[in-house]
Amino acid sequence: MKRGRTSSDEGDLEWGRTSGDDGDLNLGRTSSEEGDLNLGRTSGDEGDLNLGRTSGDEVDLELGRTSSEEGNLNLGRTSSDEGDMKRGRTSNDEGDLELGWTSSDEGDMKRGRTSNDEGDLNLGSTNGDEGDLELGGTSGDEGDLNLGGTSGDEGDLELGWTRSEKGDLNLGGTSDNEGDLELGRTSGHKGDLELGWTSSEKGDLNLGGTSDNEGDLELGWTRSEKGDLNLGGTSDNEGDLELGRTSGHKGDLELGWTSGHKGDLILGGTSGDKGDLELGRTRSEKGDLNLGGTSDNEGDLELGRTSGHKGDLELGWTSGHKGDLELGGTSGEKEVLELGRTSGNESLWRIILSNSSVNGRGSWHSSPSAAGV
């Protein structure tokens, strides 16, 4: 029973490709001979369970790549020899559990950025040469795992693009000449589904772009003249979903907003003239969900506001012109719960509990003089 391709002889259950001879269960590719369960690729000989690639010899359980020899459980890459469980890569020798990288000898757990030469786990950019795990760009030469671009030459695993020459696994585009694995690249003028290509003359990095004029779904492209970085942008006139686009004239940084007239979703956008910071704002007329938005001209901070006339749920927003702070309020005429509001010219703390029994009445108010805020 097989789903994939196998070169084995007997009873293999495979979702990938294997050169094993007996009873291999492979979800990837393996060069082992007996009983390997592989979800990736392994050069091991016996009983390896690998979710990545390993050069180990016996019974390695790996979710990444390791050069160790015995029993390592790795979620990254390690050069240690015995029993390490690691998420990342380390150059130490014994038993370190790391969520980052370390160049020390014992047990350091680090999450940061490094410019060293080996075993870097970077959430930024690095100029290391080997084995870098990067969520940015790297100038390394071998074995780089990049969620950006790299200039490496061999064996790059990239969610961006690379200009290397051979053996690249790209979930984006590459300018090399052979052996590229690319997911959805088209050079047509319309309706292209692209995961990492550069159609412009200036080397744009695109993840899922279309080059047509309307309704483009684009993840990380720059079509403008000023090198805008867009993650999930559309070039149409209404209802754009854009992640990290600067469409304004003043270099606004916007994460997930729509330029349409209704129901806009804005995450950290500046749509106003005064540089408003907005997290999840809809500037429609009703039922807006705002997470830290500024809907007026005076820089109000709004967390979860609905601008409808009744039953609004508001967490810390200012709807008036004088900077009212409301936590958990409904602006309807009835059943209003307000915690810590300053309304009008006087600062006060007010709690309104409608339809409740507070001293036998429907609501309770504090006097302005009781607050003193």
pLDDT tens figures, 275-314: 333 444 444 333 333 333 344 444 344 443 444 333 333 4
Measure the CA angle with vertex 148, ends 147 and 151; round to 5°: 120
Measure the CA angle with vertex 15, ends 13 and 21; round to 5°: 45
**The two structure tokens encoding residue 72:** 């390592």
Q: What integer pLDDT is reported at residue 328 of this predicted model?
A: 41
Contact 50, 60 (CB under 8 A): yes
What average pLDDT does this structure show over 218-243?
A: 38
pLDDT digits (tens, 9 = 90+) for 11-52: 444 444 444 444 444 444 444 444 444 444 444 444 444 444
Contact 117, 107 (CB under 8 A): no
pLDDT digits (tens, 9 = 90+) for 101-160: 333 333 333 333 333 334 333 333 344 444 444 444 444 444 444 444 444 444 444 444
**The two structure tokens encoding residue 333:** 């005429």
**Which region, left, alpha or beta, applies to residue 59 given φ > 0 means left and ψ of -120 to 50 means alpha?**
left
What average pLDDT is seen over the chain?
Answer: 40
pLDDT digits (tens, 9 = 90+) for 298-309: 434 444 344 433
Task: Please enumerate in sequence order all residues whose Cβ is within 8 A of that of 165, keeping only pairs 6 or more positions apart, or say none.
Answer: 153, 154, 176, 177, 178
Q: What integer pLDDT is reported at residue 187 of this predicted model?
A: 38
pLDDT digits (tens, 9 = 90+) for 342-361: 444 333 334 443 333 333 33
Q: What integer pLDDT is reported at residue 118 of this predicted model?
A: 40
Q: What integer pLDDT is reported at residue 197 of this predicted model?
A: 36
User: Distance of alpha carbon 371 from its chain centroid, rounded?
Assistant: 44
Beta-strand (E) ranges in 113-205?
121-122, 133-134, 145-146, 149-150, 157-158, 161-162, 169-170, 173-174
Domain-wise residue ranges, the chain: 1-82, 264-373
Residue of 269, 271, 264 lying closest to 241 (CA atoms): 264
pLDDT digits (tens, 9 = 90+) for 62-87: 444 344 444 443 444 444 443 333 33
Q: What is the pairing mode between strands 266-269 and 278-281?
A: antiparallel
Using CA atoms, how far apart are residues 324 and 327, in angstroms rounded to an integer? 10
Q: Residue 7 — pLDDT band, cuts 50, 70, 90?
A: very low
Give the pTM. 0.18
What average pLDDT does this structure show over 212-216?
A: 37
